[in-house]
């Protein structure tokens, strides 16, 4: 099992950041993907390499500010759960924590790399905390 | 008089793979001739025994602790120091043709420049500096990239797809269905990563690299200073040279390498004398990295498989030598060869059957650490007496060497003096020790080694991790134990030597950059 975690501190309130990244349809505006399509609790994400991930949205918890999803329907990927949490540090700063558990494990590293880029994109948008 | 540097690297090539270093199988007359005209180093050592960290050291002149690329999959920051950038800023034409690997190969999110150039149809990408200048990626204004197979986004794979699509499946698939290093066997013996490849030689990456390098060189003017890094992906596994070349070396006729221990009981006894990760990997109970097939157990390796793997490597080495010969013939035809400094080396070695092992990993012995290195200074630039240098030197000296050839001061960022031209100069330049580091972190499995090579001794300390508590290590007397079968770490008679080496190493190792850079891919 590949298990990875990335995090970033942002110079914005948890509420403001969650209002943005808590919307599953805007993933491509911060995560290094080309496009996002959402229908109900399903999401299709197209990567720059042309690969399309079909995802099951497992949880959008506006109180906990937690988003969970799973890549499904991919014969290569036998298990996956991805989670990001937005946690308030104070009124003007929050930390975003992204984690993924995946089989095959090597994909965890690649998704972790993408998450790292996504978090850097969030820091550009909201500022480093 | 223009100054020019032809920097030729191979990948995962052993010291004894070349005729000039005593290799008795592969015919390497081109490299042997370069060695006869220049300086041959008998103990050249990498800063790390896998590709990305070692190549990052070549480019930056820094140890792994400083440049921070501690394992394959960790990208070298785009703003890291680069000797190619220094040369470019001084008006040199700069190119890297073949395998770069400063950035990960497995890149489904298209994060890395190396993987985007072929798709974009660009020679390089220019970035704006803080003061508004535009500079090419890592200082290379021309990059045409390849790796060991025909898949993925690099230029060679694109060329194969566009020109010879039927060839894509001919090369061995490096990765298996789980995207791990493939354990599938082939050839005549079922050895892992061996395949009889029906691809015509002209389509193989070795000849492609030479063709593309020749094309770039041919386009330079008579007055240009240039730095051309020609980086052959072979003889790194997969071991799949074109079948048309298999007649060169019949594996059935090969002697087993000196490092192969035929008696399995003796083999295990030797491995048991080393830190526990050696025997753990041999039995397949402790796989700590992605540098070998996770599902392949070295204890299953047969003598015939070792012969066949070695035969394939010898063939790959001959093809590299002939490809280099074509490039040098071009330089001669243009009347440039006497103005060219030629430097030939590799990034790290390969077990090829030593100790009953293949591939590489956290094992700091000659199989992986003793590398071919040859430097033929340009006759029109300087008069150097052909020499053999026995003093240990590191690939960390390459960047300073290139600066020196270019007539530039040694860059501040480099951590070692240039290469010496003889053993006397080695002392004067301060080549007292070479340091090698290993860190692997694989989802909780951690192995870290720090090694000093000084004189005729190699000493490796293990750091606390998954299998070590930091008290074990390795000490080898290279003069009396050239195969490193006898670990003297715990020998009371050698405690003073060991402790002196360790003291020297800890005093001279750079402080590790912090925080540790993230690993973004398995390779």
Question: Residue B106: closest CA among chain A residues belongs to which residue?
Answer: A110
Burial class (CB in 10 A: 0-12, 13-18, 19+), B18: buried
pLDDT tier at B442 (50, 70, 90 boundaries)? Answer: confident
Q: What is the pLDDT of residues B75-87, one digit of tens each?
A: 999 999 999 999 9
**Section B174-189 average pLDDT:** 93
Closest in B111, B180, B518 to A106, CB measured: B180
Cβ distance of B179 and A33 shorter than 8 Å: no
Q: What is the pLDDT of residue B151?
A: 86
| Most B CBs within 10 Å, among A53, A98, A110, to test the B interface | A110
- Among the residue ranges B179-183, B329-333, B409-413, the one predicted with the least confidence is B179-183
How far is the first Cα of chain A from the last one, in angstroms, to the nearest whole number?
32
Instruction: State what percent of residues in chain B have pLDDT above 90.
Output: 94
Q: Does A110 contact chain B (CB < 8 Å)? A: yes
Q: What is the pLDDT of residue B177?
A: 86
To the nearest 10 degrees (0 to 180), the angle between helices B398-405 and B51-60 is 30
Distance CA(B446)–CA(B313), nearest Å, equals 31
Question: Residue A3: closest CA among chain B residues belongs to which residue?
Answer: B443
Q: What is the pLDDT of residue B178?
A: 86
Q: What is the pLDDT of residue B150?
A: 86
Per DSSP, what are the bridge partners of residue A44? Answer: A37, A54
Closest in B104, B111, B443 to A3, CB measured: B443
Cβ distance of B179 and A2 shorter than 8 Å: no
pLDDT tier at B289 (50, 70, 90 boundaries)? Answer: confident
Q: What is the pLDDT of residue B84?
A: 98
Cβ distance of A117 and B104 shorter than 8 Å: no
How many C-beta atoms surround the C-beta of residue A62 within 10 A?
A: 11
pLDDT tier at B229 (50, 70, 90 boundaries)? Answer: very high
Backbone angles phi, psi at A42, to 5 degrees: -115, 145
- Among the residue ranges B23-27, B171-175, B431-435, the one predicted with the least confidence is B171-175
**Section B99-118 average pLDDT:** 96
- The alpha carbon torsion through B85, B91, B93, B94 (nearest 10 deg) reads -10
Q: What is the pLDDT of residue B351?
A: 98
Please tell me the distance in Å from A91's CA to the nearest CA on chain B. Answer: 27
Q: What is the pLDDT of residues A61-120, one digit of tens each?
A: 999 999 999 999 999 999 999 999 999 999 999 999 999 999 999 999 999 999 999 999
Q: What is the pLDDT of residue A55?
A: 98
Q: What is the pLDDT of residue B120?
A: 95
* Mean model confidence pLDDT for chain B: 97
Cβ distance of A114 and B109 shorter than 8 Å: yes
Please tell me the distance in Å from B443's CA to the nearest CA on chain A. Answer: 7
Q: What is the pLDDT of residue B422?
A: 97
Cβ distance of B521 and A110 shorter than 8 Å: yes
Please tell me the distance in Å from B110's CA to the nearest CA on chain A. Answer: 6
Per DSSP, what are the bridge partners of residue A59? Answer: A68
Q: Does A6 contact chain B (CB < 8 Å)? A: yes
* Mean model confidence pLDDT for chain A: 97
3-state class of A68 per DSSP?
A: strand
Q: Does A48 contact chain B (CB < 8 Å)? A: yes
Cβ distance of B106 and A106 shorter than 8 Å: yes
| Most B CBs within 10 Å, among A103, A106, A119, to test the B interface | A106
pLDDT of residue B402 exceeding 90, the answer is yes
Please tell me the distance in Å from B178's CA to the nearest CA on chain A. Answer: 6
Give B-chain residues touching A98 at CB under 8 angstroms: none
Q: Does A35 contact chain B (CB < 8 Å)? A: no
| Most B CBs within 10 Å, among A34, A102, A105, to test the B interface | A105
Scanning the structure block, which residue is given the tokens 């960290």?
A: B53
Please tell me the distance in Å from B522's CA to the nearest CA on chain A. Answer: 6
Q: Does A114 contact chain B (CB < 8 Å)? A: yes
Buried residues in B400-439 as b, exposed as e (16+ CB within 10 A): bbbbbbbebeebebbbbbbbbbbeebbeebebebbbbbbb
Q: Does B176 contact chain A (CB < 8 Å)? A: no
Distance CA(B240)–CA(B99), nearest Å, equals 17
Size of interface A-B (CB pairs under 8 A): 65
| Most A CBs within 10 Å, among B76, B110, B442, B444, to test the A interface | B110
Q: What is the pLDDT of residues B61-72, one digit of tens each?
A: 999 999 999 999
Cβ distance of B109 and A33 shorter than 8 Å: yes
Question: Residue A104: closest CA among chain B residues belongs to which residue?
Answer: B178
Distance CA(B260)–CA(B356), nearest Å, equals 6
Tokens of B36: 């006869």
Give B-chain residues touching A32 at CB under 8 angstroms: 109-111
Please tell me the distance in Å from B116's CA to the nearest CA on chain A. Answer: 10
Q: Does B443 contact chain A (CB < 8 Å)? A: yes
Q: What is the pLDDT of residues B306-364, one digit of tens each?
A: 999 999 999 999 999 999 999 999 999 999 999 999 999 999 999 999 999 999 999 99
**Section B258-281 average pLDDT:** 98
Scanning the structure block, which residue is given the tokens 């005093």?
A: B507
Q: Does B181 contact chain A (CB < 8 Å)? A: no
Interface of B with A in 289-348 (CB under 8 A): 290
Give B-chain residues touching A3 at CB under 8 angstroms: 443
Q: What is the DSSP secondary structure assignment for residue B219, as one 8-state letter?
A: T
Q: How far is CA A61 from CA A85, A90, A118, B41, B399, in A?
A: 10, 20, 20, 63, 53
Cβ distance of A116 and B108 shorter than 8 Å: no
Q: What is the DSSP secondary structure assignment for residue B500, as one 8-state letter?
A: H
Q: Does A5 contact chain B (CB < 8 Å)? A: no
**Section B271-289 average pLDDT:** 95
Instruction: State what percent of residues in chain A have pLDDT above 70.
Output: 100
Helices (H), B147-291: 155-163, 205-218, 264-272, 276-282
Distance CA(B185)–CA(B192), nearest Å, equals 4
Q: What is the pLDDT of residues B488-507, one digit of tens each?
A: 999 999 999 999 999 999 99
Q: What is the pLDDT of residue B179?
A: 87
Give A-chain residues touching B519 at CB under 8 angstroms: 109, 112
Q: Does B515 contact chain A (CB < 8 Å)? A: no
Q: What is the pLDDT of residue B328?
A: 98
Q: Does B104 contact chain A (CB < 8 Å)? A: yes
Q: What is the pLDDT of residue B149?
A: 85
Scanning the structure block, which residue is given the tokens 């290469």?
A: B419
Question: Do the beta carbons of residue B202 and residue B242 sit within 8 Å?
Answer: no
Please tell me the distance in Å from B180's CA to the nearest CA on chain A. Answer: 7
pLDDT of residue B19 exceeding 90, the answer is yes
Q: What is the pLDDT of residue B209?
A: 98
Closest in B110, B177, B521 to A49, CB measured: B110
């Amino acid at each position: 099992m590949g298990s990875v975690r990335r995090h970033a501190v942002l110079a914005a309130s948890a509420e403001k950041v969650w209002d943005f990244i808590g919307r599953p349809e805007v993933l491509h505006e911060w995560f290094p993907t080309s496009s996002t399509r959402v229908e109900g609790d399903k999401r299709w994400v197209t990567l720059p390499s042309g690969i399309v991930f079909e995802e099951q949205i497992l949880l959008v918890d506006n109180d906990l500010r937690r988003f969970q999803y799973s890549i499904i329907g991919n014969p290569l990927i036998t298990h996956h759960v991805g989670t990001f949490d937005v946690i308030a540090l104070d009124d003007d700063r929050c930390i975003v924590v992204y984690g993924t558990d995946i089989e095959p494990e090597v994909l965890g590293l690649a998704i972790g790399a993408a998450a790292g880029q996504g978090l850097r994109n969030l820091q550009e948008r909201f500022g480093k905390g | 008089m223009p100054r020019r540097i032809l920097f030729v690297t191979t990948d995962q090539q052993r010291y004894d793979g070349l005729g000039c270093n005593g290799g008795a199988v592969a015919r390497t007359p081109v490299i042997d001739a370069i060695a006869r005209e220049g300086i041959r180093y008998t103990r050249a050592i990498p800063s790390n025994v896998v590709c990305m960290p070692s190549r990052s050291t070549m480019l930056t002149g820094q140890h792994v602790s400083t440049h921070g690329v501690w394992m394959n999959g960790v990208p070298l920051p785009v703003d890291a120091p680069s000797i190619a950038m220094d040369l470019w800023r001084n008006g040199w034409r700069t190119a890297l043709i073949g395998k770069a690997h400063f950035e990960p190969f497995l890149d489904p999110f298209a994060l890395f420049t190396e993987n985007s150039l072929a798709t974009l149809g660009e020679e390089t990408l220019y970035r704006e500096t803080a003061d508004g200048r535009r500079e090419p990626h890592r200082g290379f204004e021309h990059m045409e990239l390849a790796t060991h197979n025909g898949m993925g986004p690099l230029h060679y794979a694109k060329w194969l797809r566009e020109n010879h699509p039927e060839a894509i499946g001919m090369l061995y698939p490096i990765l298996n269905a789980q995207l791990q290093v493939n354990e599938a066997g082939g050839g005549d013996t079922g050895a892992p990563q061996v395949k009889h490849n029906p691809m015509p030689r002209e389509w193989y990456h070795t000849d492609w690299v030479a063709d593309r390098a020749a094309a770039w060189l041919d386009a330079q003017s008579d007055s240009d200073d240039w730095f051309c890094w020609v980086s052959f992906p072979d003889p790194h596994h997969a071991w799949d040279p074109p079948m048309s070349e298999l007649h060169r070396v019949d594996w059935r006729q090969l002697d087993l390498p000196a490092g192969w221990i035929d008696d399995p009981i003796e083999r295990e006894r030797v491995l048991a004398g080393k830190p526990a990760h050696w025997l753990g990997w041999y039995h397949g109970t402790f796989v700590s990295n992605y540098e070998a097939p996770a599902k392949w157990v070295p204890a299953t390796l047969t003598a015939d498989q070792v012969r066949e793997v070695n035969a394939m490597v010898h063939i790959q080495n001959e093809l590299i030598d002939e490809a280099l010969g074509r490039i040098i013939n071009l330089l001669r035809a243009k009347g440039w060869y006497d103005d060219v400094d030629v430097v030939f080396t590799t990034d790290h070695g390969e077990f090829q059957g030593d100790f009953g092992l293949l591939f590489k990993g956290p094992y700091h012995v000659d199989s992986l650490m003793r590398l071919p290195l040859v430097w033929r200074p340009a006759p029109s630039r300087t008069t150097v007496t052909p020499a053999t240098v026995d003093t240990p030197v590191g690939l960390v000296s390459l960047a300073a060497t290139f600066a020196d050839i270019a007539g530039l001061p040694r860059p501040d960022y480099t951590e070692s003096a240039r290469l010496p031209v003889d053993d006397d100069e080695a002392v004067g330049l301060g080549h007292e020790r070479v340091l090698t580091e290993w860190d692997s972190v694989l989802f909780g499995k951690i192995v870290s080694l720090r090694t000093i090579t000084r004189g005729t001794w190699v000493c490796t300390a293990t750091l606390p991790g998954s299998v070590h508590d930091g008290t074990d290590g390795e000490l080898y007397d290279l003069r009396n134990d050239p195969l490193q079968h006898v670990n003297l770490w715990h020998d009371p008679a050698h405690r003073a030597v060991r402790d002196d080496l360790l003291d020297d190493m800890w005093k001279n190792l750079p402080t590790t950059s912090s925080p540790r850079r993230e690993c973004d891919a398995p390779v």
